[in-house]
A and B are shown apart, each in its own frame.
Chain A
Amino acid sequence: MAGVGAGAVAPTARALRWARPWPPAFLWLPAVLVAGAVLLPLAYLLVRTLGAGDEVWRLLFRARTLLVLGRSLSLAGAVAATTVALALPLAWLTARTDLPWRRLWAVLTSLPLVIPSYVGALVAVSALGPRGMLQGLLARPFGVDRLPEIYGFPGAWLVLSLLSYPYVLLNLRAALGRLDPALEEASRSLGHSAWATFRRVTLPHLRPALAAGALLVALYTLSDFGAVSLLRFETFTWAIYLQYQTSFDRTLAAALGLVLVVFAIGLLVLEGASRGRSRYYRSTAGAVRPPAVARLGKWRWPAVALCALVVLGAVALPLSVLGYWLVRGLLAGQALAPLGRATVNSLYVSGMAAAVVLVAALPVAVLSVRYRVWVVALLERASYVGFATPGIVVALALVFFGARYATPIYQTLALLVFAYGVLFLPTAVGAVRSSLLQINPNLEDAARSLGRTPFRAFAGITLPLIRPGLAAGAALVFLLTMKELPATLLLSPIGFKTLATSIWSSASEAFFARAAAPALLLVLASSLSLALMNLGERR
């Protein structure tokens, strides 16, 4: 009852109340360095764009730019809406009903998380594209020689919706778990039917989670590079890449990148606002009674069919398609040897990124949890810049910066790992923060009163206690780095191929058989780290 548990009830309020005037140097010095480093790319992009003068503005306000903007926003909106429509029934079915094999469906429906968007796009192109598998299947019996166009909006919408709905789903399931069952019982006792209760009590409580999930999906769509590039839908990220590849003057690419960042920040601000309100909806900590289970009755099997359909489309079919191409490639004598190099590279660079990001995240997270002063709040905000900066933009900024000011590390792994650092620092800070919030701040005070310096109190007490959180953060960064595409594409040293870049380059040249093996490997690695992370959390 006491110890960690008692402190976990209101640690933030406590930390606020006992705010120290100034944190020790072993914390703020590295934190300032980290914040400065992650701000560097964005700042450089800004300087570069503003320095280019009026011409940038003329380029930016061309019709083509507006077209790109329109495409990006309509795709983000459509994908967000679709994921909400998919996730809402799935969340309710897997959290609150007597759906047969409910636990299994709960796991299966969140599996699309492990499939990177460019693998999804690869599958879509190879299966649904012109001269693809589906057309091949239909050609002989039905004489179908054309399928609806998969390139462009439809393909991007389909792939991104099917792969990103778990973001909304997980948010919703968590919110359903937090909902005090007594509220629904109160509504029923006041004469409302089950459906009216869902509409008037449950749904309003889910709205913040729904909004936050949808905005996250919109952000994910806006910054996605893999799917839109393989499906040739010219949204911001793809336009930036084209501009960077083809044009001699790269200022426009920089300007487009900044516009994208502005929209991403807008989405993040909205997301923050929706989350801020959600706190009011949360039930008290005491509500541990499991919620009532809704009986589906004759709707049981249609519900199972819905779950099966989604899992089939988002997980089973893509994996089967990849398996098909793998077997076909192997039968055709495709060599697996080049894969070994790419796998080693992927593991190596991801491990390095995980270690670096974790070390960088630690001081920022500790400061933000234990020392609530405005400078610290500012530092924490700065560390979140990676959330709002799509990979392609970070990569572009570092290409500019590296080529001009940091030639010794340009085209080296150091710069690539730095890019990962900027991109994934927020994730790591979040993981470390949430485990720190579980730690009673009195523990460090107790160590101090028993004669330990702040540093030794931290190293001897806090660090061992947050080790599971650190491991989870490292695993998450490792996973994200394995899947990361645009920064890896732009910043890898010449000849340095990873699983992600092998998949993308094979797929963009339509060598599907060559892309299948690395894609399956990547999915396998992602699933393993996700499983490990879940295990860590449960313990």
Chain B
Amino acid sequence: MTVAVNSALMCYAWDRMPTDAVVQLHSVSKAYGLTRVIEDLSLHIVAGELLSILGPSGCGKTTTLRLIAGFERPDRGSIEVGGRPVANGSVFLPPERRGVGMVFQDYALFPHLTVAQNVSYGVRERDRKRRVQELLKMVGLGGLEKRYPHELSGGQQQRVALARALAPQPPIVLLDEPFSNLDADLRAQVRREVRDILKSTGTAAIFVTHDQEEALAIADHVAVLHQGRLEQTGTPDEIYHWPKTRFVADFVGQADFLPASVTPQGVVSELGTWALPVPVDAGQDVELMVRPHDTGVIADGQGDAVVTAREFHGEENHYTIRLPSGREVHSTMPSHAVHQVGDRVRLAICIPEVVIFHQGKGLGRGKAQASAVPAP
């Protein structure tokens, strides 16, 4: 069984030579007792970049941060910060000598120190006062120097934590679920502000999150972690549109996976036939990824599909459609496109780029041909 692998996708890790890497992990592994938390993880981040580590809870995201910060010791592999080895078989630098800033999930502000004292805690230079002023102004908290952490709102505490981490001017800041303690309304605003602050200071940042929307919205690159293994790295667009594994496809956004077979004509599925994105041997069974936003529902009394559920979300309608085979697919339609449960419909699939999986692995990426026409 030969599978031609698309080089453009698989070689992502090599196409940016990490000569300017701020942090680099080589084949890092970490276990607690018998539980393997990180398996053979290699990652890097370049100066000024925002990297998001995305994954479900328990995937090893926070452990990765703590390995970089120096709170954990890797079992195998090596870690470099600023081109300097900080952890490998023979070296282990404690956190205080790594120069890595950290923003904790619960902010970990020192409750017995004022805002100014918190921010200046890591500053060694003489001109502490000016530096504190500068930072607080930057995060929009000028005038609150004398306050104590408990006298601030959640969003303000968040910004103090960021200012404190940035105060010693580290080349990189690590943020552990930085927005998870904020209200939903506040979250979008604060994360934009945090992104702007990081970009304006040119500080590279790694932030971990389980919220895919958050990762896609503010990161330059996203690394998806699953059970301690790196599933995929790429730009937010790459991660969403060209997932390399079924896990990524499923975790980032919603998707239906339809059984399909490879024929000389292309990928044949219940919903139609598409041109192959990459050369694949005929006769193979594959799965075709279809996103709900790519699936249109058209009212058709002669149609062979049936609406089985409708959820109205205000700005959108979420439909569940049963196909003749009994399989169900999902569709997201505009607010006013209303169909009732039990209505006969037909589907109009508009896949700009075909993504297929063989045994859970992506078979590469390519433009779908215009000839792709759904079956009547």
Contact = CB atoms under 8 A, between A and B. Distances in A.
A18 B104 contact: no
A468 B94 CA distance: 30
Interface string B181-203: 10000000000000000000000
Interface in A379-410: none
B137 interface: no
Interface stretch (B95-103, B128-136, B224-232, B242-250): B95-103
Contact of A448 (B96, B109, B150, B154): B96
Interface of B: 32, 66, 69-73, 94-102, 104-112, 121-122, 124, 149-150, 154, 157, 164-165, 167-168, 181
A3 B149 contact: yes
Given A2-B181, A440-B106, A448 B121 contact: no
A207 B231 CA distance: 51
A442 B121 contact: no
Interface in A10-37: 17-19, 21
A440 B108 contact: yes
A449 to B, nearest CB: 4
Given A1-B154, A1-B181, A2-B157, A445 B111 contact: no
Contacts of B154: 1-2
A465 interface: yes
A449 B157 CA distance: 18
* B94, B97, B101, B121, most chain A CB atoms within 10 A: B121
Contacts of B167: 450
Nearest to A21: B73
Given A443-B108, A445-B104, A6 B71 contact: no
A453 B96 contact: yes
Given A2-B157, A448-B96, A449-B100, A442 B108 contact: yes
Given A1-B181, A3-B150, A446 B124 contact: no
Contact of A447 (B121, B149, B157): B121
22 contacts: A1-B154, A2-B109, A2-B149, A3-B111, A3-B149, A3-B150, A7-B108, A17-B32, A18-B72, A21-B73, A442-B104, A442-B106, A442-B108, A446-B102, A446-B104, A446-B164, A449-B98, A449-B100, A450-B121, A451-B96, A451-B124, A454-B94
A18 B66 contact: yes
A200 interface: no
B168 A2 contact: no
A3 B109 CA distance: 6
Interface in A325-365: none
Nearest to A461: B110
B106 A465 contact: no
Interface string A201-229: 00000000000000000000000000000
A6 B176 CA distance: 14
Interface size on A, as a range, is 20 to 34
Contact of A18 (B71, B98, B181): B71
Contacts of B168: 450-451
A445 B102 contact: yes
B109 A445 contact: no
A21 B168 CA distance: 28
B122 A451 contact: yes
Contacts of A3: 106-109, 111, 149-150, 157
B102 A465 contact: no
A319 B100 CA distance: 64
B235 to A, nearest CB: 29
Nearest to A6: B106
Contacts of B66: 18
Contacts of B106: 2-3, 6-7, 440, 442
Contacts of B96: 448-453, 457
Contact of B95 (A21, A449, A464): A449
Contacts of B100: 449
Given A3-B106, A3-B108, A3-B157, 16 more contacts: A2-B106, A3-B111, A4-B111, A7-B106, A18-B71, A19-B32, A443-B108, A445-B69, A445-B71, A445-B95, A446-B102, A446-B110, A450-B167, A453-B94, A454-B94, A465-B112
Contacts of B165: 449-450
